[in-house]
């Protein structure tokens, strides 16, 4: 079970608390099981009352911002509503896009079934805009940058799926569940002993978040390091002949 000691604090003052959320931890209580730990319940034990400003999917890691006062919460909510923040995600995907950069402008909506997927719907969907950039290519795998202009549920995951690109380990949108990164192009790395490398979550990481500090008015940027399994997976991919 994830505890406060497992969560890296990136920044803390009287107005803000910024963490590097580990995969496997929900931002808010689970509607089906209220006994499961979540960010708010764990961190409030040490930091007092906290306000959730935005969310990350349970299996997504990276920068998560919380407010430490109602005033800061209002200011930050306004920034997100008016698109004054800048969020950058990195995605490790199965697939190799033909483009270097691309903007996806496809409306999205929840599909309403028990899987809780988000789907493209040109009639009933809400506007959704994501800017994509290919950072590295590893044969049939790629490291992408994703900058969402809107904040729809599963937006990046659904938009990548529309491009036939599936986030590594994202079973909901068609990705294979790998128990460890040695399954990536295993034929190319049979000589490596990677049995101890385990995978946590999926290949979507909130790399950075830039906001206006609610007290000082200055822009401030927070960055979160990759999880250990990400580093190991990227090292593996770079070590193979598939690296470009």
The answer to whether residue 244 sits within a structural domain is no
Residues 6+ apart with CB under 8 A from 96: 137, 139, 140, 141, 142
List the CATH number of the domain containing 78.
3.30.2350.10
Mean pLDDT of 90-113: 93
The answer to whether residue 32 sits within a structural domain is yes
What is the domain range of residue 44?
Answer: 4-239
The answer to whether residue 202 sits within a structural domain is yes
Q: What is the pLDDT of residue 28?
A: 78
Number of domains in the chain: 1
Q: What is the pLDDT of residues 180-199, one digit of tens each?
A: 555 544 433 333 333 334 66
The answer to whether residue 189 sits within a structural domain is yes
Q: What is the pLDDT of residues 194-237, one digit of tens each?
A: 333 466 889 999 999 999 999 999 999 999 999 999 998 898 88
The answer to whether residue 97 sits within a structural domain is yes
The answer to whether residue 66 sits within a structural domain is yes
Catalytic residues: 57
Kindly list the distances between the CA atom of residue 12 and the CA atoms of 30, 123, 224, in Å, as whole numbers in the listed order: 26, 43, 14
């Amino acid at each position: 079970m994830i505890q406060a000691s497992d969560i890296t604090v990136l920044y803390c003052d009287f107005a803000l608390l910024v963490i590097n959320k580990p995969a496997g931890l929900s931002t808010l209580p689970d509607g089906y099981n209220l006994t499961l730990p979540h960010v708010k319940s764990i961190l409030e034990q040490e930091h007092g009352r906290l306000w959730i400003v935005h969310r990350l999917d349970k299996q997504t890691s990276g920068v998560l911002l919380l407010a430490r006062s109602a005033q800061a919460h209002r200011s930050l909510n306004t920034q997100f509503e008016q698109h004054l923040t800048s969020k950058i995600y990195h995605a490790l995907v199965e697939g190799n896009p033909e483009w270097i950069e691309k903007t996806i402008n496809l409306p999205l909506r929840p599909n309403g079934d028990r899987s809780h997927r988000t789907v493209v719907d040109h009639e009933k969907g809400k506007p959704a805009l994501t800017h994509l950039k290919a950072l590295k290519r590893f044969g049939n795998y790629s490291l992408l940058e994703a900058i969402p202009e809107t904040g729809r549920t599963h937006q990046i995951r659904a938009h990548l799926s529309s491009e036939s690109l599936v986030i590594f380990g994202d079973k909901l949108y068609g990705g294979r569940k790998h128990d460890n990164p040695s399954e990536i192009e295993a034929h190319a790395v049979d000589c490596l002993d990677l049995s101890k490398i385990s995978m946590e979550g999926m290949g979507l990481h909130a790399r950075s978040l830039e906001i206006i500090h609610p007290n000082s008015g200055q822009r401030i940027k927070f960055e979160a390091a990759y999880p250990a399994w990400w580093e190991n997976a990227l090292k593996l991919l770079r070590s193979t002949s598939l690296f470009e």
